[in-house]
A and B are shown apart, each in its own frame.
Chain A
Amino acid sequence: MKNYKRFILIMLFCAVAFVISFSFFMDFSPISGKSDQFVQDKQALKRLLHNSSEIHRIWKAGEESREWSLISEECKKELRITKNFDESLLRCSPLLLQCHSLFSKNLDYSLVTFEESGNLPFRYLTKSNSSYQGLREVGIAVTLVDKKSLKKLDIFLEDNCHEVYLEQRAYAYGEQIEIKDGEDYRFDNFDRHIYLDTHLVTNFDINMWLKFGNPDFTKGISEKKEDELFLPAVFLTYTQMESYCSYKGRQVLQAHFLDAASFLPMDLNEKIPKRNLRSPYYWTKKASEYKSDCKLLYSKDCLGKREYQTNSSQPSWAGLFDTMGGVFEAVRNPIDGESNLKASSYYFDSKSSWHKIGFRAGWNGEGFGLRDFDFRGLNPYVNIDKFKVGFRCMREILQ
């Protein structure tokens, strides 16, 4: 009996000793190690958040970022870009981040490349190719890796640098009607938030669509490279233009909104003027003040003077580039469906009557030969197999 009690006491003692030592083991020694790990993890997260802000800064600043000034030469060499282009197109451009990831030195982070996107360090996210909920905008997803801890952070950069808000006011469609008592086609956009692309869709934009869009809608379209990257995409059919804008959650620009953003208002402070008087040239209020200036209108006369590039002409009052001159621009015209082409372009010399805002030609939306266009008898004097037709998108945003 005595032995039995002793046995119980020993067992109890052992159990208590075990529990105490186990608790001690659990409570103290690993916790300090674990705590250190948690502190280090939090520091890694802080570094990743800081670096995500840096990436965001480069994304927004584009050509104005110090990173671009350091890597531009290497980047252009890598992409085989030899000609000048409007470098403001590098804002919200994954191309700059791609070069940053390749050529910027002494970074304490790296960007993960994705096999499915051809080893690019980003993926383009839209509502049609991603199931991620709550993303209001389209944009790119980038995965940052903290080099010290190897921890990762996924970030999303919204692609909305190249659009402008159309001021809420009264506008008019088409050329000014000169007939006495003639009625202008007026409209307004009060209580609506309309955003228009500032520039024509580029080949690089289309390359992104080819990589990340639904291949059913991009059949027959080929990727463009090198010096063509930043030029307008000009050989898409109207249906393909529509599909591209849809993929970005947008619509093809409508004719009356192109007019709204192009005609210079006589008085910017007067939101609802009695009449929408308008000059046919976006740079002046005077109808007589036409200038043959390649910075205002890139016409046929400019071809020998300087190379055409996207955003050749100055922006209109609302911020749209190339509203006159350059390549043709297709629009959707809800008022006169057959007047769907901004014909002011480098296919006509500076004296051509096509160089007027709101004066449009027709395009069947399918081909690019002369017979696919209706120039109202004012045909271009050029021998060209395929005319170049650009486009841009627009969208409305909820209140």
Chain B
Amino acid sequence: MYERNPPMKNILILTIIFLFSCSEINSKSQSLAEVDWLLSSEWIYATKIVGPQYNNEEITRPPGVEQLVMSIVLPDLGGLNSKHQCLYYTVKFKEKKSSFRIQEFKNVDKCPEISDNERENFVYIEGIDNLKLAFKSYQIIMNFKHNKKESVIEIMLPNIEEGLIHNKYEAITTKSLRPGLKLLRLTEESFDFASNKNLGKLSDRFSLGTAIRCQQVNKNCESVGENRCEMCRYGWYEVVDFQCPNGGSKFCGQNHCGEKNEPACPRGTRVVPIEEAGLCQSDLGPVANFEKILVCQ
């Protein structure tokens, strides 16, 4: 058999050598310039960062074992959904080279603790030593040695917000790199009405039972379920229910408080007794409905 088909064997050997060489090329570490570009062009859209696990401390442990060191949440193309990019780092150990790997996950709440071998790497680079990660002044700063050469990658994060600032006589502002400026990843899908997941119609009314409740507060002043008021298509308004310091339940849509069969408007409780906390038109009075919401009747 061997003697009869020697060319077949040769072809087989060559094929194996060729495939081996190709697989070697595929798993190859990316260049630093490519990694810098890939991260910069993606992470500028980041809306949330979990980590870095070690804030500007050199990651030295555990050697040879891959660990999740940072998670980035960012919108996908078109901005209809968000995705996670998970940064895994392996510290050098004996012959095992250090490596830096980023994988992308959609429809997850958080990054898995270890990377997925089956999944394509968004970034893979070897020989990244003495890695330090820091989040400072709305920038991610990565200091490391690559092939024994000191390197740094700095990425601006204009979409990261750390809360709102309310100052009297002023417009609202955010704690962010450039308050009022965001970077978007627009596509035509971003304007597709069928993909619009925001809540409510213009005709929705509390009195008709069509208004969508975007936040429910219970008698213990706890928020029940998710607060979806920022998803209201046409704004939202608050009703008077349990006199909670953080406000009552909220509904999406145009506010008709004070009118007949509509909720009473919040009046506050610092200058009037708690029984008068709801405000109605002069010929109506606030009456608690079965959900303890004051309704004008």
Contacts and interface: CB of A to CB of B under 8 A. Distances in A.
B217 interface: no
A132 B6 CA distance: 63
A117 to B, nearest CB: 10
A243 interface: yes
B58 interface: no
A246 B235 contact: yes
B259 A334 contact: yes
B190 A251 contact: no
Contacts of A354: none
Contacts of B178: 53, 56
A41 B247 contact: no
Interface of B: 6, 10, 13-14, 17-18, 21, 24-25, 28, 31, 33-34, 36-37, 40-41, 44, 47, 75, 78-82, 156, 158, 164, 166-172, 178, 180-186, 189-193, 195-198, 202, 227, 229-238, 245-247, 253-255, 257-259, 265-272, 279-282
Contacts of A119: none
A390 B115 CA distance: 59
B205 to A, nearest CB: 12
A34 interface: yes
A39 B75 contact: no
Nearest to B269: A188
A34 B192 CA distance: 36
A249 B80 contact: no
Given A41-B41, A155-B183, A186 B255 contact: no
B186 A154 contact: yes
Contacts of A131: 78-80, 189-193, 195-198
A9 B271 CA distance: 98
Interface in A79-102: none
B247 A191 contact: yes
A352 interface: no
Contacts of B202: 214, 217, 243, 246
Contact of B31 (A35, A137, A141, A156): A35
A246 B234 contact: yes
Contacts, number: 243
Contacts of A141: 184, 186
Given A41-B41, A131-B191, A188 B271 contact: yes
Contact of A154 (B171, B183, B191): B183
A52 B80 contact: no
Nearest to B180: A158
Given A141-B186, A272-B271, A396-B238, A165 B34 contact: no
B18 A15 contact: yes
Interface of A: 4, 7-8, 11-12, 15-16, 18-19, 22-23, 26-27, 31, 34-36, 38-39, 41-42, 45, 49, 52-53, 56, 59-60, 123, 127-137, 139, 141, 143, 153-158, 160-167, 170, 186-193, 195, 214, 217, 242-243, 245-252, 254, 256, 272, 318-319, 332-337, 395-399
B80 A56 contact: no
B281 A128 contact: no
A214 B200 CA distance: 14
21 contacts: A15-B18, A23-B25, A38-B36, A39-B33, A41-B37, A42-B33, A45-B41, A53-B181, A128-B196, A131-B80, A132-B75, A132-B80, A164-B171, A188-B269, A190-B268, A192-B266, A272-B270, A318-B168, A333-B281, A336-B281, A337-B259
